[in-house]
């Protein structure tokens, strides 16, 4: 593919996805926006890259920052970028990749579990969590909210370490 007048090669879908894997969530910098599952689609029309992004929830204070980070990353390669906010269907923690869940646990955050049993937390039933430090399931919730609204604060009764839990949505 020939470069344009500015010496920029035309964007490719794979190239943009690779770039997006390098854009980390500002609130949990160990996980990319792709692993978080908020990047829904990438389209290229001519030399314009359009990226569909779904916010984790409507009140997330990081949404605009994430969109700006995505746009900056893609535009740093010389591409014109449009960010399209997609709210239907709403984001769910089921969209976090398996690799993202591993990264969360290694970072010290208990990742949300998939499935109906995990969703019981939406009904006020505390989930059985595995401590990311020692893997014990003997834990207690300390606070409904951790460092961000999407996380709750727990304490492991075995190793006595506090940890955050990325709440199911």
CATH number at residue 74: 3.30.300.130
Are both 78 and 114 inside the same structural domain? no
Residue 7 lies in a domain: no
Q: Among 85, 117, 138, where does a domain finish?
A: 85
Residue from 18, 24, 28, 26 nearest 104 by CA: 28
| 111 occurs within a structural domain | yes
- For residue 17, what are the domain limits? 13-85
93 occurs within a structural domain: no
What percent of the chain stands above pLDDT 70?
Answer: 89
In a domain, 3, yes or no: no
> What pLDDT, in 10s, does the model give residues 125-137?
778 889 999 999 9
85, 114, 133: which is the final residue of a domain?
A: 85
Task: Kindly state the tokens that stand for 79.
Answer: 């591409």
Do 111 and 60 belong together in one domain? no
Whether residues 80 and 113 share a domain: the answer is no
pTM metric for this prediction? 0.85
In the prediction, which pLDDT does 110 show?
94
Tens digit of each residue's pLDDT (9 = 90 or more) over 11-36: 999 999 999 999 999 999 999 999 99
Flag whether 92 is in a domain: no
DSSP track, 51-120: EEE--SSTT-TTHHHHHHHHHHHHHTTT-EEEEEE--SSPP-GGGS-HHHHHHHHHHTEEPPPPSHHHHG
Closest CA to 165 of 107, 95, 98: 107
Q: In this structure, is residue 37 part of a structural domain?
A: yes
Within a domain: residue 72? yes
6 found inside a domain: no
């Amino acid at each position: 593919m020939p470069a344009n007048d500015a010496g920029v090669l035309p964007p490719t879908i794979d190239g943009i996805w690779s770039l997006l894997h390098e854009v980390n969530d500002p609130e949990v910098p160990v996980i990319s926006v792709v692993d978080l599952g908020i990047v829904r689609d990438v389209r290229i029309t001519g030399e314009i890259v359009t990226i569909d992004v779904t916010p984790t929830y409507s009140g997330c204070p990081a949404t605009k920052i994430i969109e700006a980070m995505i746009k900056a990353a893609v535009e740093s390669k010389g591409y014109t970028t449009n960010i399209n906010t997609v709210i239907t269907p709403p984001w769910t923690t089921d969209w976090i990749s398996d690799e993202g869940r591993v990264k969360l646990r290694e970072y010290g955050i208990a990742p949300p579990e998939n499935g109906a049993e995990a969703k019981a937390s939406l009904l006020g039933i505390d989930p059985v969590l595995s401590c990311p430090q020692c893997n014990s399931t003997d834990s207690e919730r300390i606070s409904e909210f951790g460092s961000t609204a999407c996380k709750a604060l727990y304490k492991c009764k075995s190793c006595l370490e506090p940890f955050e839990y990325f709440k199911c949505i």
